[in-house]
């Protein structure tokens, strides 16, 4: 009853959220928009189902969730050359929410059980500091007035102040500062109005500093992890540049994840005639980024080609294994965990399972690897020794 009354009194808010459906390709923190695969649990949900274009399935610390991805405003005073929201772009319908209006709309949608979280970003419409205030005000209302305790991801604006970053990290589960380019020169070409070091990188460093200083016993505890995003391929950026910075951020500020967004040209922007970046390049960057984060790889080990990019036609881990392991296979019974994770088909869980299993007995055939949870042991066959010998290339029971 409560929600129905509010929906009837705020049709414009829902319509405005619908207009924001196209924030999704701009912000890659989620995956595909979710259109149909969640049951609409009530008439209220039917009434607002048209906001689904703003809802994406997003990876969160508690698994994938349907999340409302939206912006305080699509107006922006910056002129990033690739962005649909850049200042002065013709034909762009601008939408702006007041904090209480957006908070109320989110409350309706999450009470209707259409979403389990919110990702809140914004164009920079009133300078970075005031815009950040509006983002924080919106989430303060959602947390305090509506008592929402679920997933929140907040964007940190270029130029946000230290105390704003701290408050955002107390309210959110995740915060992001989008670096967009891997170096000052690349960012200057992508977004001439942003300063790589003082407006963006420094805020990323602050998030780590704030986490380190945080008192875990405080009622206002800091709980947010940090992520960033890069626009890939518009201005000559190389995979080596992108992954070198990613590695530094994993090591130095405990970055949770780097997102890579393959560039696609947008009409009425300075980059409208540039070519699309192949989606496969984005995929290879994610594969490599996970090797750096989860598999204890160093960036120098990745199979960069002349020019600093990865080959598109082969998985980077397999390319490395073809070069290094075909002649010198890894002995599964004696290798360390880091070495085991070099084997195609073996990840962190698989390496742990091998170490546990070999304490109890010998792993002498590919079927034993499958039995302990390695799903495609055939992928590993060319690169390992089992019982001191190369295993046959085909599992007997696969024939």
Q: What are the residues binding ligand SF4 (CB under 6 A)?
A: 76, 78, 80, 83, 85-86, 123-124, 191
Q: Which residues pair with 260 in a beta bridge?
A: 230
What's the CA gap between 378 and 166, in Å, rounded? 49
Cβ–Cβ under 8 Å, residues 393 and 382: yes
Minimum CB–partner distance for residue 169 and ligand SF4 (Å): 20
Minimum CB–partner distance for residue 183 and ligand SF4 (Å): 17
Classified as helix, coil or strand, 288 is: helix
Nearer Cβ to ligand SF4, position 78 or 113? 78
Cβ–Cβ under 8 Å, residues 325 and 383: yes
Nearer Cβ to ligand SF4, position 83 or 384? 83
Nearer Cβ to ligand SF4, position 80 or 171? 80
Nearer Cβ to ligand SF4, position 179 or 321? 179
Minimum CB–partner distance for residue 123 and ligand SF4 (Å): 4
Minimum CB–partner distance for residue 300 and ligand SF4 (Å): 32
Beta strands 63-71 and 55-60, pairing class: antiparallel
Classified as helix, coil or strand, 129 is: helix
Phi, psi of 170 (to 5 degrees): -80, -30
E-assigned strands of the chain? 55-60, 63-71, 117-121, 151-155, 174-176, 225-232, 257-262, 330-331, 384-385
**How many other CB atoms are found less than 10 A from the CB of residue 110?**
20
**Ramachandran bin of 276, using left for φ above 0, alpha for ψ from -120 to 50, beta for the remaining angles:** beta
Minimum CB–partner distance for residue 83 and ligand SF4 (Å): 3
Nearer Cβ to ligand SF4, position 83 or 380? 83
Minimum CB–partner distance for residue 230 and ligand SF4 (Å): 12
Nearer Cβ to ligand SF4, position 78 or 211? 78
């Amino acid at each position: 009853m409560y929600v129905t009354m509010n929906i009837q009194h705020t049709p414009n808010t829902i319509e405005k959220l619908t207009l924001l459906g196209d924030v999704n390709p701009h912000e890659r923190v989620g995956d595909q928009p979710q259109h149909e695969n969640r049951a609409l649990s009530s008439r209220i949900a039917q009434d607002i189902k048209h906001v689904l274009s703003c809802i994406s399935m997003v990876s969160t610390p508690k698994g994938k969730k349907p999340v409302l991805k939206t912006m305080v405003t699509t107006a922006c005073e910056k002129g990033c050359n690739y962005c649909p929201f850049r200042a002065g772009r013709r034909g762009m319908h601008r939408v702006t929410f007041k904090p209480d209006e957006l908070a109320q709309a989110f409350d309706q949608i999450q009470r209707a059980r259409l979403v389990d979280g919110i990702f809140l970003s914004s164009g920079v419409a009133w300078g970075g500091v005031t815009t950040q205030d509006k983002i924080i005000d919106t989430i303060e209302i959602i947390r305090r007035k509506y008592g929402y305790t679920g997933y929140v991801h907040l964007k940190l604006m270029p130029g946000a102040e230290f105390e704003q970053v701290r408050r955002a990290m107390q309210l959110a589960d995740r915060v992001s500062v989008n670096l967009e380019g891997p170096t000052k020169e690349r960012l200057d070409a992508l977004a001439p109005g942003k300063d790589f070091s003082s407006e963006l990188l420094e805020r990323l460093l602050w998030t780590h500093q704030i986490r380190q200083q945080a008192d875990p016993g405080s009622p206002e505890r800091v709980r947010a992890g940090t992520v960033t995003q890069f626009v890939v391929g518009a201005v000559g950026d190389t995979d080596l540049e992108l992954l070198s910075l990613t590695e530094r951020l994993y090591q130095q500020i405990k970055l949770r994840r780097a997102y890579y967004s393959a560039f696609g040209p947008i009409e009425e922007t300075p980059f409208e005639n540039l070519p699309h970046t192949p989606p496969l390049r984005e995929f290879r960057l994610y594969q490599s980024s996970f090797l750096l984060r989860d598999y204890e790889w160093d960036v120098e080990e990745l199979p960069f080609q002349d020019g600093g990019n990865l080959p598109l036609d082969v998985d980077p881990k397999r390319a490395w294994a073809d070069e290094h392991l075909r002649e010198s296979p890894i002995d599964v019974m004696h290798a360390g965990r880091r070495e085991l994770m070099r084997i195609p088909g073996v990840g962190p869980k698989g390496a742990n399972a091998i170490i546990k299993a070999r304490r109890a007995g010998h792993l002498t055939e590919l079927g034993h690897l499958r039995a302990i949870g390695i799903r495609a042991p055939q992928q590993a066959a060319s690169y390992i020794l089992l019982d001191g010998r190369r295993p046959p290339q085909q599992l007997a029971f696969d024939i």
